[in-house]
Amino acid sequence: MKKTLFTTFAAALGLAAPLLLAQEIVVGEIVSMTGDKAGFGTEIHNATMMAVDDTNAAGGVLGKKIKLVSEDTQSKPGEPAAAVQKLISRDKVVAILGEYTSSLTLEAAPICQSAKVPLISPGATNPKVTEVGDYIFRVCFIDPFQGTVLSKFALETLKAKKAAVFTDIKQDYSIGLADFFKAHFAKNGGTIVVEKSYSSGDADFKAQLTAIKSANPDVIMIPGYYSQIGLIAKQARALGITVPLIGGDAWSDSQLVAIGGSAVDGSYFTDHFSAENPDPKVQALLKRYKEKFGKDAGSAAALGYDAAMVLFDSIKRAGTTDEPKLRDAIASTKGYQGISGVITLDEKRNANKPAVILQVKGKDFKYVTTVNP
Amino acid sequence: MSLSDFFQQIINGLSLGAFYALIALGYTMVYGVLRFINFAHGDVFMIGAYCGYYITDRVQAVFGGKLMWASALVVLLFAMAVCAILGVVIERLAYRPLRNRPKLAVLITAIGVSLFLEYGGQFFFGAIPRAFPELIPDLPVGGLGTLVITTNQVLVFGVTVALLVALNYIVKHTKMGLAMRAVSQNATAAQLMGVNIDTVISFTFALGSALAGAAGILFAVSYPSINPLMGILPGIKAFVAAVLGGIGHLPGAAVGGIILGIVETFVGASDYSTYRDAIAFAVLILILLFKPAGIFGKATVEKV
């Protein structure tokens, strides 16, 4: 009797809702829509929405539509933990995409790991991120590789013997990348003549730059984020520092040139992909992005799109969103043809991908060379 | 550290300290009159920078791209005017209704106004850091050998000194200044003597906020990346500078700012740059241990 009553009740009142719910696969996203990393965040969010729309337009996955729930992490420590808690317990997401920065991903990862909800980061390159556990993945290369590429480039192409390193101490990414660069550079005949540091949010760097200048380096490696690189470059040039500046993938945003102007001209950085890649699939996406959002897409957009697509592809291959199976499907991603390159996840859940070196020329990032792992 | 490096770092420290001093003047003025910390001051500073961001192109178009200094002056005055109005509005809407309530209520409201401006700024201006247009060309001042001073650094320092002198004059030698000092000593007694407290307080806020607006423009010219949260860190540091100099004391705020700038610069240049803020603040705590009311502050006995 009770059961019949309940069934009738459900049929009468709640039929529409559960049916609708069953038609959707809920995916979470943590992304810095505000704060000083918002340039990357907006691009990733836009690209992720494009991936969701594209997939839904093509019929969704497993006959269901994808529903994206986004949480703003505000470029701020402390936010990702609360955001993923909410996504997991309230929105019951099957998997989470993000964060782009290593520090913020490292806050979210342990929670996803213990809840056994897969997390795929588009761009967290610090090796510690996927070491958190077997539910944490990324679709980008890692900093030991990126640091080596930068060091080799400085030694071989720029013929630098003495390097200065200027690190953002608030970013795990920056500290890690600096360490890997220093290790390789020192082991291969170079000398690190001076090391200085700053914090995210600083605006004045003249004290450290004056000290760097008097150490007389051949190249200055600044593994920081684009929003401050422009200011650092301007102040360096104003102090009469003329040597090349080099950095990593966190430079890759149009604001770098908007703020830095001629001061960043001629600088080099490593990146995940080049917008000059002639692959029609890449060019088609860049064109669509520009039409839709009125801005050029950079590597953040490419990685954001890829992270989402790798997840959707894995759900298809798993045939279910049940966690152990979905996790295994993501882990076995092999030869996925993404926008940022071919994605194959290794046993440590990192993507094994080549890096490109780009040079700032006027308002553009010009392709210089590709370095394979 | 070579001698030329030492002097270069002194210059760097002075130019950084000038900013802290400029912002600290606004904090200390409001405190001097109302005995409360206007935590929204750093965010009014941010609004000043955004005023410049939105009108620089238009002003420069009016001047036909010529007369750089004249257009810069127009932008500066515009930002100061907008911020002065904003300061008066904030006081009128948020602080005046609480004037006779416990100080803690006003303090918490100030934090609320600060957050309101920050997140309202993110809503209206967008959260992405913006590149501030080139208002005046930043050229090196020649003839100093290896030392580098830019026109902006000279400008910031000059404006700070000029505003400090002007403020001091207003407070010490004008009728409004006399009224401000009277309100600061005893608001009720001042009212009985025919001082219109509302006008005096509005004037104080207008003046303090105009200073924040000027600082915002100068800051954005020197560090041309602006975002809605840009006021938080300089705001906190300027607050510390004001306390260090003896809050409520105008030249004290300037001296506090310069000390903070120089300490930060020398720690930043040393091998301990990682701990720059920690060491700079430790030095401040040390000074306050010996001079609890700040360098120029007079120790007052709390009336019970």
Chain A neighbours among B 231-270 (CB < 8 Å)?
232-234, 264-270
Residue A237 scores a pLDDT above 60: yes
Which of B182, B198, B229 corresponds to the end of one domain? B229
Question: What Å distances lie between residue B233 and A200, B19, B39, B228, B239, CA to CA?
Answer: 11, 12, 12, 12, 10
Dump pLDDT digits (tens) for B89-144: 999 999 999 988 888 898 899 999 999 999 999 889 988 888 998 888 777 777 67
Same structural domain for residues B171 and B239?
no
CA-nearest of A295, A243, A318, A347 to A25 is A318
Domain end residue (candidates: B229, B261, B291): B229
Residue B9 C-alpha, separation from nearest chain A C-alpha, in angstroms: 6
- pLDDT at residue number B263: 92
**Which residues from B are below 8 Å from A211, CB to CB?**
5, 268-270, 273
Mean pLDDT of A151-172: 94
Residue A239 has its nearest CB partner, among B128, B148, B230, at B148
Q: Residue B150 and residue A199: Cβ atoms within 8 Å? A: no
Domain identity same for B276 and B167: no
- Helix spans in B94-249 (H): 103-125, 151-173, 175-185, 187-192, 197-222, 232-245
In the block, residue with structure tokens 């704060």: A35
Same domain, B254 and B291: yes
Partner A contacted by B144 (CB < 8 A): no
Amino acid A17: pLDDT? 47
Kindly report the number of other CB atoms within 10 A of residue A278's CB atom.
7
Query: In B162-188, which positions are buried (b, 16+ CB within 10 angstroms) versus exposed (e)?
Result: ebbeebeebbeeeeebebbebbbeebe
Give the CATH number of domain A2-141+279-353: 3.40.50.2300
B40 to chain A nearest CA, in Å?
18
d(CA A197, nearest CA chain B) in Å? 5
- State residue A15's pLDDT score: 46
Q: Is the pLDDT of residue A5 over 70?
A: no
User: E strand or H helix at A323, and its extent?
Assistant: helix A323-331
Cα separation, A210 vs B102, in Å, equals: 48
Query: What is the spatial distance between Cα A301 and Cα A46, in angstroms, rounded to a whole number?
Result: 7
Task: Compute the average pLDDT of residues A275-291.
Answer: 92
Best probe of the A interface among B9, B223, B236, B237, by most A CBs < 10 A, is: B223
Q: Which residue of B has its CA nearest to A37?
A: B128
Q: How many domains does chain B have?
A: 2
Judged by DSSP in three states, A370 sits in: strand
Evaluate whether residue B99 is within a structural domain: yes
Residue B272 lies in a domain: yes
Cβ pair B91, B201 in contact under 8 A: yes
Q: B236 and B218 in one domain?
A: no
Assigned domain for B217 exists:
yes
Q: What are phi and psi of A363, to 5 degrees?
A: -95, -5
Higher-scoring residue by pLDDT: A10, A75? A75
Residues B157 and B118 in one domain: yes
Nearest to B131 among A206, A208, A259 (CB): A259
Neighbours of B197 (CB within 10 A): 17
8 Å CB contact of B269 and A228: no
Q: Please give, rounded to a whole number of angstroms, the shortest distance from the CA of B282 to a CA of chain A.
A: 17
Residue B26 falls inside a structural domain: no
Q: Of A192, A259, A293, A363, which to mutate for an interface test with B (greatest number of B Cβ within 10 Å)?
A: A259
CA A66 to chain CA mean position, Å: 22
A6: pLDDT strictly greater than 60: no
Quote the distance between the C-alpha of residue A341 and its chain's center: 14
Surface of A (302-361) touching B: CB under 8 A = none
**pLDDT averaged over chain B?**
88
Residue B105 within a domain: yes
Distance from CA of A97 to the nearest CA of B (A): 21
Q: Which residue on chain A is closest to B127 by alpha carbon?
A: A34
- B137 occurs within a structural domain: no
pLDDT value of residue B47: 96
**Residue A323 pLDDT more than 90?**
no
A-B Cβ pairs (cutoff 8 Å, strict): 98
Q: Which domain holds residue B293?
A: 231-304
Pick the closest to residue A148 from A189, A190, A177, A191 (CA basis): A177
**Domain contains B61:** yes
- pLDDT tens string B254-273: 999 999 999 999 998 888 88
* Neighbouring C-alpha atoms within 13 Å toward the C-beta of A175: 11
Q: Which of A196, A201, A204 sits opposite B273 (nearest CB)?
A: A196
Quick one: pLDDT at residue A38? 86
Q: Name the region of B77 (left: φ>0; alpha: ψ -120 to 50; beta: rest).
A: alpha
Chain B contact for A203, CB < 8 A?
Answer: yes
Residues B185 and B240 in one domain: no
Residue B56 tokens, joined: 């620089």
Listed residues B229, B244, B271: the one ending a domain: B229
Give SS3 for A295.
coil
Do B119 and B241 lie in one domain? The reply is: no
DSSP letters, A83-106, are: HHHHHHHTS--SEEE--SSHHHHH
Q: Where are the beta strands (DSSP E) in chain A?
A: 24-31, 65-72, 95-97, 119-121, 136-138, 162-168, 191-198, 219-221, 245-247, 268-271, 336-337, 342-343, 355-361, 364-371
Instruction: Please return the burial class of A152, using the count of CB atoms within 10 Å of its CB with bins 0-12, 13-18 and 19+.
Output: middle
Region B134-161: what's the mean pLDDT? 83
Q: Do B224 and A259 touch (CB under 8 A)?
A: yes
pLDDT over 80 (residue B174): yes
Tokens standing for residue A223: 């593994």
Neighbours of A77 (CB within 10 A): 14
- A295 lies within 8 A of chain B by CB: no
Q: Using CB atoms, which residue from A207, A210, A230 is nearest to B225?
A: A230
Scan for tokens 């004249």, then name that residue: B70
Q: Does B229 touch chain A (CB under 8 A)?
A: yes
Q: CA dist B98 to A243, A360, B105, Å?
A: 57, 54, 7
- Residues B289, B167 share a domain: no
A29-88 tens-digit pLDDT: 999 998 888 889 999 999 999 999 999 999 999 999 999 999 999 888 999 999 999 999
- Per-residue pLDDT reduced to its tens digit, A72-111: 998 889 999 999 999 999 999 999 999 999 999 999 999 9
Give dist(CA A229, CA A249) in Å, integer: 12
pLDDT of residue A19: 46
pTM of the full structure: 0.85
CATH number of A143-271: 3.40.50.2300
Residue A13 has pLDDT above 60, yes or no: no
- For the stretch B45-100, pLDDT in tens is 999 999 999 999 888 888 876 778 888 899 999 999 999 999 999 999 999 999 88
Q: Residues B290, B165: one domain?
A: no
B7 touches chain A (CB under 8 A): no
Query: Does B290 reside within a domain?
Result: yes
**Which chain A residues are Cβ-neighbours of B227 within 8 angstroms?**
35-36, 227
Name the minimum distance, in Å, from the CA of B178 to any CA of chain A: 38
CB-CB contact of A118 with A93 (8 Å): no
Is residue A112 within 8 Å of residue A93, measured between CB atoms?
no
Which residues lie closer than 8 Å to B112 by C-beta, 6 or more apart? B94
Residues B12-42 have pLDDT tens digits of 999 999 999 999 998 898 888 888 889 999 9
Q: Does B189 touch chain A (CB under 8 A)?
A: no
Instruction: Tell me: do B235 and B209 sit in the same domain.
Output: no
What's the start-to-end Cα distance of chain B, in Å? 52
pLDDT of residue A16: 47
* B153 and A CB contact within 8 Å: no
Using a CB-CB cut-off of 8 Å, the residues of chain B touching A39 are: 128-129
C-alpha pair distances (Å), A216 with each of A4, A210, A220, A313, B109:
84, 10, 10, 51, 51
Closest CA to A266 of A246, A238, A239: A246
Examine the pLDDT at A18 and tell me if it is beyond 50.
no
Residue in chain B lying closest to A203 (CA): B223
Say yes or no: B60 and B170 in one domain. Answer: yes
Q: Do B92 and B64 have their domain in common? A: yes
Direct distance between the N- and C-terminal alpha carbons of chain A, in angstroms, rounded to an integer: 66
Where in chain A do CATH 3.40.50.2300 domains reside? 2-141+279-353, 143-271
In terms of Cα–Cα distance, which of B10, B21, B7, B8 is closest to B158? B21
Chain B closest CA to A126's CA: distance in Å? 20
Whole-number percent of chain A with pLDDT over 70: 94
**Contact residues on chain A for B123, CB-CB shorter than 8 A:** none
